[in-house]
Amino acid sequence: MGNKKVARAPEIDEGDMNIMFNTNVTGLINMTQAVLPIFKARPDGGAGDIINIGSIAGREPYAGGSIYCATKAAVRAFTDALRKELIDTRIRVMEIDPGQVETVSCGELSMLFGTGADWQ
C-alpha cells in the first residue's frame, strides 16, 4: 500500500492487494476461528461477542478504492454468514462500519516505526 491512498485498475499492485486481503479478510477469519472454539466451549451452549470492523466502503465503494472496498465487502459477507451460522448459540456477531476517518497511512507508519521486518 505504501504511500498510495488509492489505486485504480489496471495499476493495482499485486503485493498491495495481497497485504490488504491478508490483513482485512484472512486475518479476521483466522482470529475468528481461533476464538470460536473457546466461545463454544463455554457453559450453556457457548457465549461471547465477535465484533468485526468493516467500513461504509464495503457498502458504498469509491473510485480508486476497489481493493479496499472489496475487502470490506468480504468482511460484511463473512460477518453476516457467521451470524446466521451461530444463530442457535449465545455467541453474538456484530460489525461496526465507520465512515470516512482520517488515519495514518502504512507509509507514514513505516516512517515512524520501520517496516514489519524491523518489528521482529
Domains and CATH numbers, the chain: 14-115 (3.40.50.720)
pLDDT tens digits for range 35-68: 999 999 999 889 999 999 999 999 999 999 999 9
CA dist 71 and 11 (Å) reads 18
Residue 118 is predicted with a pLDDT of 52
Active site (annotated) includes residue 68: yes
> Nearest-5° angle of CA 31, CA 35, CA 50?
80
pLDDT of residue 70: 96
Cis upstream peptide for 37 (omega within 30°):
no
For position 31, what pLDDT does the model report?
Answer: 97
Active-site residue, from 4, 5, 68, 84: 68
Lowest-confidence segment of 3-7, 80-84, 100-104 by average pLDDT: 3-7
Residue 93's nearest CA partner among 36, 8, 43, 22 is: 36
From CA 91, how far away is CA 46, in angstroms rounded?
Answer: 7
Give the residue from 91, 79, 84, 85 showing the smallest Cα distance to 45.
91
Q: For the chain, what's the residue count?
A: 120
66-97 residue pLDDT tens: 999 999 999 999 999 999 999 999 999 999 99
Q: How far apart are CA 26 and CA 65, in angstroms?
A: 19
| Whole-structure pTM value | 0.78
Catalytic residue among 5, 40, 62, 72: 72
Q: Is 62 a catalytic residue?
A: no
Q: Is 50 helix (H, G, I), strand (E, B) or coil?
A: strand
